[in-house]
Structure 1
C-alpha cells in the first residue's frame, strides 16, 4: 500500500521496474490520492494510470483533469456508470472518441455519440454499433 504522495511520486520516478509497477497497481488511502490531485497536479497523469483508484478519484479527475488525463480515464473499463455519460459530453473530441471506443460504454451513450458533431467521434461510435 502506498502511504503518502511523496512515496507515490518516488515510485513513479524510480528506475526500478518493480517500483513503477507498484505505482500502477498498489492501492492508497483516499487522502493520498486527494493530496496528489490537488497539491501535485502534474502527477494527475500518474494517478489516472493507477488501476486501483477509487470512483471518487475518477470523478474528480473527470471534472478537473486536463484533456490527456480525461482521455486516459475515458479508456478505463472500470469507470462508474455516471462517468461514461459525463465524459461523452466532454468538450474534447479526443475524450468523446475514447468513450465511444470503450467496450464497456453503455449502448445508449454510444448511440448518442453516433450523432456527435465531430466526424471521427461519430464514426467510432457507429462502428461500435455496427461492427464489420
Structure 2
C-alpha cells in the first residue's frame, strides 16, 4: 500500500518500471488521494490511471480544468451512469465521444448525445443504439 502523497509522486516519476507499476496498481488511503489531488495537480492523470482509485476521487476529477484528466476519468470502466451523464456535457468533444462509447452509459444519456454538435459523437451513438439498443445494459 502506498502510504503518502510524496511516495505516490516518487513512484510515478521513477525510472524503475516496478515502481511505476506500484503507482498504477497499489491501493492508497482516501485521505492520501485527496492530498495528491490538492498538492500535486500535475499528477492527477496518474491518480486516475491507478486501478484502485475510488469513485469519490473520480467524481471530483470530473470537473478538473485539464481535459486530459477528464478524458482519463471517462475511460474508467467503473464509472456509474450518473457520472457518465455529467461527462456527456463536457466542452471537450473527445470526452463526449468516450461517453458515447462507454459500456455503462445509459440509454437516456445516449439519447441526449444524439443532439451532440459533433457529428462523430452522433455517429457513435447511432452505432451503439442501432435502432434497438440491445447492446446496452
Q: TM-score, normalised by structure 2?
A: 0.89
Structure 2, unpaired ranges of 5+: none
Structure 1, unpaired ranges of 5+: none
Aligned structure 1 segments of 4 or more residues deviating by more than 2 angstroms: none
- What is the distance in 1 between the residues matched to 2:24 and 2:105? 23
Q: TM-score, normalised by structure 1?
A: 0.92
Number of the residue aligned with 1:87: 87
Q: CA deviation at 1:90?
A: 1.0
Question: In angstroms, what is the RMSD of aligned CA positions?
Answer: 1.4
**1:80-129 Cα shifts (integer Å, max 9, x gaps):** 33201100111111111111111221222122112211111111111111
Instruction: Count residues with an aligned counterpart.
Output: 131
Pairs within 5 Å for 1:86-125 = 86-125=86-125
Pairs within 5 Å for 1:54-65 = 54-65=54-65
Pairs within 5 Å for 1:6-17 = 6-17=6-17
- Give the structure with the larger helix fraction: 1
